[in-house]
Structure 1
Amino acid sequence: MSRLLYRLGKAAAMRPWRSVAVWVVLVGAMAGLAGVAGGALHDDYTQSGSGSQKARDLLEERFPALSGADARVVVHARTGRVDPGALAAAGARLRTLPHVSAVDPALLSPDGRTALLTVRYSVQVTELAPKETVDRLKSATRNLDAAGYQIEFGGQVPENVTAPGGVAEGVGIVAALVVLFLAFGSVVAAGLPLAVALAGLGAGVSGVTLLAAFTDVSTTAPTLAVMVGLGVGIDYALFILTRHREGLAEGLDVPEAAGRAIATAGQSVIFAGFTVLLALCGLVLSRNPVYMTMGFATGLVVAFTVASAVTLLPAVLGLAGRRVLRRRDRAPGATVHADSPRVRRWAEHVGRRPWAWLLAGLVLMTTLAAPALGMRTWPSDASSEPESNTVRRAYDLVADGFGPGANGPLIVAVDLRKTGADTLPALRDRIARTDGVVSVTPPQLSPGRDAAVLVATPRYGPQDERAPAVVDRIRAHDLPPGAEITGLTAAYVDLSRSLSDRLWPMIGAVVATSFVMLMLVFRSLVAPLKAAAMNLLSIGAAYGVLTAVFQWGWGAGLLGLPHGVPVSSLILLPMFAVLFGVSMDYEVFLLSRVREEWLRHGDARGSVSSGLAATGRVISSAALIMVAVFLGFAADPGLVIKQMGVGLAVAVALDATVVRLVLVPAAMALLGRANWWLPKPLARVLPEIGPHGSPDAADAGHEREPAPAR
């Protein structure tokens, strides 16, 4: 592969406009196709076999009016009571809106100051345009607003209205430009990685839109794909550009330096991207359509960013010439120091006292990870939104007027073909006597009178720690055959437990496949084990910080949250997959250079110092860029993306500092030549794969490995 990449990189640098033209056509064509044939985003949280899913299926079959989306219009009188006549007039107008199948009779709170109008739609929320639908709700309730009532909106439709995007991406791009300029001291060098990453990102995002035309793609998948693609895309281009600048500093001409950079760092980029793709493939084990499409969408964007780094970047390097160097470094005879003497001295210092630094790093990381032992994972609801959001104000008004459980009623669907209608009064009484249930409505029969629905109002809100126990008690003691519970709280219970159950199998599969790949790449058993352990440590620390910031509320105010909230169970699987892949990126880049030095000199400890000195500055710059990109997404109004941004930023920061600068050099110094130990029978079977390639294209693929310690 190294020879092929060398020829590809050199040819692109020598004839740059061909590659640039191909990418311009590719990005333009994909954007055009996405605009014409792209599909709409769709969240599919189907949980086959769960109780809530069985109940939803029964509702869809027997109660069409109850199976679609819903919206809540909350009316509050600032003084006095709500006028029933005004409510009736508003209800009549709401019934005339598109896709509205029914409007439930208005519910008045005991004090008469708050009223609730539930609007039911004949289609699912993903088939509606939430912003346009909410605008129609506002128009239909204008008489109430004119009468001086406070009008707020909740339910599925308003909660699916997303704020305009672009701010997080803009923050990340500006931060990346600043870091790149400080690292390279050249405007051209700073702009190239960003331009190449944006080209890959543009093609990848268009591909995600096209993918949505053939399968369901979740509404959060493009945001996650942009977050990861922007970070890794800049990083991949940065690593290749750094190697190219080293070649120019050694006196190589531009095409030769570009070819060697692609043959070495470019090959590392391909393997690093493959590790990310492997980790994302682990989301398939979730068996949840939303997370599977998150993996597919993000993987598609990562693949395009890798392609742009190894094909488009050498072309723009050819166009830029020696302008990627600082102005003072372009002069004849100028000396450019690629290595960082400060990082080398640090690595040697750690290598002289490996036990002390290893223990210090482990203590720090385990301390940060400790809060994760008490992590409570739960999907977010409207109570987690800032008070400026109408869905949060609607939630609070309902909780104050009807009790917190009214925000998450439990819908009991009964199949009367399996249970007689004469059992319904007793069923209602049993549920009403269940600890934690406030009230139960009389049974409502389906049009075919072959199914019934009872609505139980729990004492606790959907996010309350006691709410799952209420669902469990009803399921364990009160339900006859053919009856199941659904509703927001019940669906949250099933989803949270399903995702938690599948987290560990996914972790095992991702770690195992990554271990096998790194064993093939580095021809070692020890290096992959160490890499997996270090990556799990940084991920555990990120989970711990997430718990402290969000669940304990230490950073809630800074992030625009009203109070501490559980860690969203929706982020556990995708966050692990992304973090493990990104951590492996840095491991591949660092170990590739360390192994290159090891193959060249056979000095186990010296190769660590040299490899870290050669990559320390660029890994730090890359990590700083990625942290800035991820923190930009921490400002996203959506709680899932906010938590994902904070978690990814923390993990990358710890990985690039504590792990790469302390734990890795300390552990490798202690292991010495054993870092590259591989049993001889296994060595004879494994293929020769070198992620670092060969700096000399003429010798690509013919490196001789020193004999490992026995």
Structure 2
Amino acid sequence: MRILLAKLGAICTDHPWRTLGVWVVLFAATIGAAAAFGGQMQDNYHVEGLDSIAGSELLADRFPDLAGTDARVVVHDDVALDPGVLTSLQSRLQTLDGVGTVSPARISSDGDTALISVQYRIPVTDFQGTDGIDALRSATAPLEREGIQVELGGQVAENISSPGGTAEAVGIVVALVILLLAFGSVVAAGLPIVVAIIGVGIGSGIVAVLASFTQISPMAPTIATMVGIGVGIDYALLLVTRFADGLRSGMTSKESAAHANSTAGVSVVYAGTTVLLCLLGLRLAGLPVYASMGYATLAVVGAVMLTSITVVPALCALAGTKLLPRMPRRGGGQARTEKWARMVCRRPAAWTLAALMLLAVLAAPVLDMRMWPQNAGTQPTSNTTRLAYDLIDHEFGPGANGPFMVAVDLSQVSTSRLDYLTEELARDPGIAVVGTPITNPEGDTAVVMFEPTTGPSDEETVALLTHLRHDVLPEGAIATGVTPVFADITDRVAERIWLVVAFVVALSVVLLTVVFRSIVVAVKAAAMNLMSVAAAYGVMVALFQWGWGAELLGLPHAVPVSSWVPILMFTILFGLSMDYEVFLLSRIRELWLHSGDAHSSVVDGVASTGRVITSAAAIMVAVFLGFALDADVTIKMMGVGLATAVLVDATIVRMVLVPSTMTLLGQWNWWNPFTRSAGRPRTSPVTLAEPVSASK
């Protein structure tokens, strides 16, 4: 691979305009294909084997008017509402496409607020763009023209994604500043940004086209972009650094590009491939929505990896010596890193213990983690779904935002048993309101709707669901609706996360063992990655679930950790952490093979890679924190969690734990059971990378 990538770098350097032309054509083609054939992003929560899904399937088969998505129309005024106005609104809502039933207006105790529930025959994914909410707005327009407040809730309104772009822009601007500080050259700083934009643009176009063939979650493109920008800039940073070092050493542009690709380029390919393989672990989660996020991120990271090893050499050839700073830099950065490495390696046991204690403190809150999908109560107050959620909570109680449905198969449950079930539900202290049973025209299925006394994401609501299933509902009566579906999905995620963890960890250990020919290095790296992830989880629990940073992050109150985040974060982070692991260990191994001195190879390896790793990590953290500005709480959690993990990985792990533990182990770092030796090998394997300081 080293020889192949060296030839590729040389070819791209010899024909820079042709290389760029090919990628520009690919960029235009994918964007054009996305515009012409791109599909609608939609979530798929259908998971076989869940009780709530079985209830939904029963309704879809026998009671289609109640089997689709839902919307809630909340009407509020300063004075008592006119019943005639509400009746007219109900009539208009009933005529909308896909609507099955419209409930009578439910009036609040003070008469100034009304809640109208709209039940559709079709799933929310059948709506294109904003068609669903636009139709609702057309029905409510006469009231709004009279100055009456109308807010929309339910799945139809909540399924509309807010426009993005701000988070990406903030991350890119901060990354550009960091690159300027790292390189001292505007050209060198801008080059990684250009490469990342090309790769992410092509990958995003592929994702849009994929959405026309399979279901892609609306969150998937944002998460893929977040990861793509981060790794794209990182990969280009490493390659540009090696190219610039080649120029400083007297190499020609062609020689520098070939050398950069044959060293840093191999690391890029390995690190990127590891990310791609780890993303395959998302399929083991058993949820289609996870698989779609994996496909999207895989497409973007794959495109970024390919552009890095081709576009970077081409742009470097065109830029030439403009990549070098006008004023030569002193090696202060590397000297400081070397001083740090010597200090850590002088007392490795103490530093190892201190680092482990700090990681344990950061990870401790993870023991209290509680997962639940986001709801409208976490949206900005400018969002109609949040306004509707707050009005319903205040006027009708928190449970009105998460009503349950009990689908009853009347071939298994008698009419008398149905009446008794309704009475039993009404007597339950955890239930606030129980509706009258509704029977389908065939008379073989009934639906009982009720509202808990607590909100959708409250622990008491989940406890109520468990109690009903175990102690109240007879055979043939199935609890379903949005809240039971989310509860079942959360349980499935909690079960499957260990399968995903086992797959990703095992895969990482195998890959690192093959690359570095050391089982010790591989196992130790996997263990440290687990510590980084645990620390990130702990910080996320403290900030979001405990509410220590809720207001700072723009949230109205503490919220559970989104069910989608832990598995997704784990697979992405294990792949991303390999970037720094490969960059650092490949340099340490090269020095060890050259000198046979385990101690000095660690010190010199940390010193020579410190500036690159620090700059790359700072860029990644900046990009991820930019996404903390996103209004979507899941994206916000992903941004904060990934930024925390990268910061921990690049500081506590790479700059403390790796050098201290490698010093303690000495020659045993490179023990290989197949060679039965912990000593220096007689032959040197192919060097993966030689990342060095930009100030060398």
Q: Please give the TM-score of this superposition, normalised by the length of structure 2.
A: 0.96
**Cα distance in 2 between the residues matched to 1:439 and 1:349:** 66
| Comparing 488-497 and 631-640, the one that deviates more | 488-497
Aligned residue in 2 for 1:217: 216
Alignment partner of 1:58 is 2:58: yes
Contact 2:535 2:645 in 1 (8 A): yes
In the alignment, what sits opposite 1:69? 69
CA positional deviation for 1:420? 3.0
Say which SS state the counterpart of residue 459 (structure 2) adopts.
Answer: coil
Cα distance in 1 for partners of 2:41, 2:12 equals 37
1:598-628 Cα deviation digits (max 9, x unpaired)? 1222221111112111211011111111111
Among 481, 485, 488, the alignment partner of 2:475 is 481
CA distance in 2, matches of 1:287, 1:546: 24
Is 1:551 matched up with 2:550?
no
Residues 487-517 of structure 1: per-residue CA shift (max 9 Å, x gap): 1221121011110111111111100111011
Aligned partner of residue 485 in structure 1, secondary structure: strand
Match of 1:702 in 2: none
Work out the CA distance in 1 between the residues paired with 2:149 and 2:578: 52
Post-superposition shift, 1:680?
Answer: 3.4
The one-letter amino acid of 1:636's match is: D
Verify: 1:361 aligned to 2:360, yes or no: no
**Post-superposition offset of 1:59:** 1.2
- Alignment partner, residue 35 of structure 1: 35
Q: Which residue of 1 aligns with 2:536?
A: 542
Residue 340 (structure 1) aligned with residue 339 (structure 2): no
Please give the per-residue CA displacement for 1:225-269, whole angstroms capped at 9, x wherever unaligned. Answer: 000000001101111111111111111111001101100000011
Q: Distance in 2 between matches of 1:286 and 1:260?
A: 41
Other structure's SS at 1:558 match: coil
User: Which stretch has the larger CA shift, 167-176 or 112-121?
Assistant: 112-121
Which residue in the other structure is 1:310 paired with? 309
Instruction: Tell me the alpha carbon deviations over residues 300-320 of structure 1, each in whole angstroms, 9 at most, x when there is no partner.
Output: 111111111111111111111
Does 2:378 correspond to 1:384? yes
Matched to 2:560, the amino acid is: P
Q: Is the 8 A contact 2:409 2:477 kept in 1?
A: yes
Match of 2:669 in 1: 675
Give % identity: 52
Q: Which residue of 2 aligns with 1:238?
A: 237
Q: What is the aligned partner in structure 1 of residue 694 from structure 2? A: none
Q: CA deviation at 1:339?
A: 7.5
Aligned-partner SS, 1:10: helix
* Equivalent position of 1:444 in the other structure: 438
Q: Does the 8 Å contact 1:245/1:324 carry over to 2?
A: yes
Deviation track 1:318-365 (CA, whole Å, cap 9, x = no partner) reads 111111111234xxxxx8859811111111111001111111111111
Q: What amino acid sits opposite 1:59 in the alignment?
A: L
- Pairwise CA distance, 1:143: 3.1
Partner of 1:319 in structure 2?
A: 318
**Contact (CA 8 Å) 2:583, 2:690: kept in 1 or not?**
no
Deviation at 1:16, TM superposition (A): 1.2
In 2, distance between residues paired with 1:683 and 1:233? 38
Residue 116 of structure 1 aligns to a residue whose secondary structure is strand
Moved over 4 A (4+): 335-339, 681-684
1:515 aligns with 2:509: yes
In structure 2, what is the Cα distance between the partners aligned to 1:97 and 1:409?
Answer: 22
The aligned residue for residue 139 of structure 1 is 138
Counterparts of residues 72-221 of structure 1 (less than 5 Å): 72-79=72-79, 81-129=80-128, 131-221=130-220
Residues 593, 684 of structure 2: 8 Å contact kept? no
- Which whole-Å deviations, capped at 9, do the CAs of 1:543-566 have from their partners, x for residues lacking one? 111111111111111111111111
1:114-139 CA distance string (max 9 Å, x none): 21111233322122145343233233
SS in 1 for 2:109: coil
Q: Secondary structure of the residue that 2:629 maps to in structure 1? A: coil
Taking the aligned partners of 2:105 and 2:690, their CA distance within structure 1 comes to 74
Q: Distance in 2 between matches of 1:683 and 1:356?
A: 28
Partner of 1:349: 343
2:23 counterpart residue number: 23
> Would you say the 8 A contact 2:372–2:457 is kept in 1?
yes
Gap regions ≥5 residues in structure 1: 330-334, 696-710
Q: Secondary structure at the match of 1:101?
A: strand
- The answer to whether the aligner puts 1:407 opposite 2:406 as a matched pair is no
Distance 1:254 1:639 in 2: 46
1:74-107: CA deviation from partner (whole Å, max 9, x where unpaired): 112323x222111001112222333333322111
Offset of residue 431 of structure 1:
2.2
Give the 5 Å matches for 1:243-282. Answer: 243-282=242-281
Q: Is the 8 A contact 2:403 2:452 kept in 1?
A: yes
Equivalent AA in structure 2 for residue 63 of structure 1: F
Q: CA deviation at 1:683?
A: 8.7
Specify the code of the residue in structure 1 equivalent to 2:594: R
Q: Helix, strand or coil: the match of 1:190?
A: helix
Q: Given that residues 587 and 690 in structure 2 are in contact (C-alpha distance below 8 angstroms), is that contact kept between their aligned partners in structure 1? A: no
Aligned residue for 1:75, secondary structure, equals strand
Structure 2 residue aligned with 1:577, among 571, 576, 584?
571
Q: Which moved more, 1:438-447 or 1:280-289?
A: 438-447
Q: Is the 8 A contact 2:167 2:627 kept in 1?
A: yes
Q: Distance in 2 between matches of 1:59 and 1:572?
A: 32
The residue identity in structure 2 corresponding to 1:424 is L
CA shift digits 1:2-29 (9 cap, x unpaired): 1111111112112212211111111112
Could you tell me which residue of structure 2 aligns to residue 284 of structure 1?
Answer: 283
Q: Could you tell which deviates more after superposition, 86-95 or 251-260?
A: 86-95
Give the equivalent residue in structure 2 for 1:700: none
Deviation at 1:681, TM superposition (A): 4.9
Instruction: Give the partner amino acid of 2:41.
Output: L
In the alignment, structure 1 residue 662 sits paired with structure 2 residue 661: no
Q: How does 1:595-614 map to 2 (within 5 A)?
A: 595-614=589-608
Distance 2:614 2:499 in 1: 32
Shift of 1:68: 1.6
Which runs of 5 or more residues in structure 2 are unaligned? 692-696
**Structure-1 separation of matches of 2:183 and 2:357:** 35
Question: Residue by residue, what CA displacement relative to the aligned partner does 1:628-665 show, whole Å, maximum 9, x if unpaired?
Answer: 11011100000100011010011111111111111111
> Greater CA deviation, 380-389 or 141-150?
141-150
Give 1:471 shift: 0.5
1: CA distance, partners of 2:375 / 2:660: 44
Distance 1:130 1:478 in 2: 41
Q: Select 1:429's aligned residue among 416, 423, 440.
A: 423
1:27, 1:421 → 2: CA distance?
Answer: 63
Q: What is residue 703 of structure 1 aligned with on the other side?
A: none
Q: Which residue of 2 aligns with 1:704?
A: none
Contact 1:551 1:567 (C-alpha < 8 Å) held by counterparts:
yes
Distance 1:372 1:273 in 2: 29
Partner SS for 2:358: helix
Q: Residues 690 and 428 of structure 1: is their aligned pair in 2 closer, same or farther, counting only changes over 3 Å?
A: farther
The alignment's C-alpha RMSD in Å is 1.9
Is 1:506 paired with 2:500? yes
Q: Which amino acid aligns with 1:656?
A: A
Q: Give the TM-score normalised by the residue count of structure 1.
A: 0.94
The aligned counterpart of 2:463 is 469
- 1:14 aligns with 14
1:619 to 2:613 alignment = yes
Q: How much has 1:289 moved relative to structure 2?
A: 0.4
Residue 102 of structure 1 aligns to a residue whose secondary structure is strand
Secondary structure (helix, strand or coil) at the match of 1:515 reads helix
Deviation at 1:171?
Answer: 0.7
Q: CA deviation at 1:530?
A: 1.1
In structure 1, how many angstroms separate the alpha carbons of the residues matched to 2:257 and 2:592?
A: 24
Which residue is 1:48 aligned to? 48
1:691 Cα deviation after fit:
5.7
